[in-house]
Amino acid sequence: MTSLRSFLQQSKQLVEKRLPEHIQSLQAPEQLKKAMLYSLNAGGKRVRPAIVFATLQSFGAPLERGVDVACALEMIHTYSLVHDDLPAMDDDDLRRGKPTNHKVFGEALAILAGDALLTYSFQLITSLEKDSVSDKQKVELIHEISRAAGPAGMVGGQVADMAGEDQSLTLDELLYIHHHKTGDLLTASVMAGAILAEASEADCKLLRQFSKELGLIFQIKDDILDVEGDSSVIGKPVGSDVDNKKSTYPNLLGLDGAKEKLSEHMSLAKEYIYGININHSMLIGLTEYIANRDH
């Protein structure tokens, strides 16, 4: 049994090796490929790929089967960051300590690089080897991921988040934003692993419930880190949410209340996972890692 640490490292290596291969093989203007690669190479925890791989492993399926889908999810996540950072949106100059895409390539190319990453992610899934992924699975994958990334998912969450800025939100409104802005793509990552592993319908149902808890754990921890994290580890100033009068778990429930919520969702997440007859350890380990991370 590999340890979580080496598993995370392995999954990071798998996507970080494959991502540039995909971009370099594109017949596209060099400057566009550079802009796409710049943000894909900017690092990050590669949480979505890790989720795909952990789900595959829990069903005993080969990790290799998930590499390209993991790349597609990382491309979509990256596109969303590039567009979020734009002057018209969050207007961020730095991301993970490096200049944001539009600071390096200009706004126009940053918009187009985001568009290209999003569009290419779907092409990538259609191009998977027929021997390992059937057409039925490809359609399911694209359905799941496009729904999670689109107007009823991530983009909708982002719009709701923008609309809610400088307003005090209820916990329900905050939940809506979190479910869609971050949660849906994490759910899609779990479900992508499940589709690739040919999980049963019953298992898929429990995994979907688990993944919603995972999304909340991810977001609540994010909010907590913004209050008590170490800015040199996180790579962005802490306390920015408080300054922005942003509605967050700690702002709504207090820091202790937020931590209590985190552990409630952790218990629920485990309950769902233990309800499935799989090798639980990696999914549980990954969930605990997300709940306990320092950045």
**Cα gap 102→202, rounded to integer Å:** 44
**Cα gap 48→30, rounded to integer Å:** 27
> Interface with a second copy includes 230 (CB under 8 A)?
no
Q: Supply the minimum distance, in Å, between the C-beta of residue 58 and a second copy.
A: 25
* Identity of the residue, 129 or 256, whose beta carbon is nearer to a second copy in the bound complex: 129
Q: Is there a contact between 26 and 33 (Cβ–Cβ < 8 Å)?
A: yes
**Cα gap 79→85, rounded to integer Å:** 10
> Interface with a second copy includes 202 (CB under 8 A)?
no
* Identity of the residue, 134 or 200, whose beta carbon is nearer to a second copy in the bound complex: 134
Alpha helices in the chain (DSSP H): 4-24, 30-40, 47-58, 67-84, 101-105, 107-126, 135-149, 154-163, 171-178, 184-196, 201-228, 231-234, 240-243, 249-274, 281-292
> Interface with a second copy includes 9 (CB under 8 A)?
no
> Interface with a second copy includes 127 (CB under 8 A)?
yes
| CB atoms inside a 10 Å sphere around CB 14 | 21
Tokens of 21: 């291969």
* Identity of the residue, 65 or 259, whose beta carbon is nearer to a second copy in the bound complex: 65
Can you tell me which residue has the tokens 């409104």? 173
Provide the mask over 66-105, with x wherever binding to a second copy is found by CB under 8 A and - wherever it is not: -------------x---x--x-xx----------------
**Where does this chain touch a second copy (CB under 8 A) — which range of 122-130, 215-223, 266-274, 280-288?**
122-130
Which helix H or strand E contains 94, and what residues bound it? strand 94-95
**Where does this chain touch a second copy (CB under 8 A) — which range of 5-13, 124-132, 201-209, 245-253?**
124-132
**Where does this chain touch a second copy (CB under 8 A) — which range of 13-21, 48-56, 139-147, 258-266?**
139-147
* Identity of the residue, 159 or 238, whose beta carbon is nearer to a second copy in the bound complex: 159
Q: Is there a contact between 111 and 119 (Cβ–Cβ < 8 Å)?
A: no
List residues bridging with 98 in a β-sheet: 95
> Interface with a second copy includes 33 (CB under 8 A)?
yes
Pick from 29, 62, 237, 254 the residue near a second copy by CB under 8 A: 29
Give, as one character, the DSSP assignment of residue 133.
S
Distance between alpha carbon 199 and the CA centroid of its chain, in Å?
Answer: 21
> Interface with a second copy includes 162 (CB under 8 A)?
yes
**Where does this chain touch a second copy (CB under 8 A) — which range of 63-71, 117-125, 241-249, 252-260?**
117-125
Give 92: exposed, middle or buried? Use CB within 10 Å, 0-12, 13-18, 19+: middle
Can you tell me which residue has the tokens 């719009």? 159
Q: Supply the minimum distance, in Å, between the C-beta of residue 46 and a second copy.
A: 22
Pick from 46, 77, 138, 181 the residue near a second copy by CB under 8 A: 138
Chain residues binding a second copy by CB under 8 A are 26-29, 31-33, 36, 79, 83, 86, 88-89, 106-109, 111-112, 114-116, 118-120, 122-123, 125-127, 134-136, 138-140, 142-143, 146-147, 149-152, 155-156, 158-160, 162-163
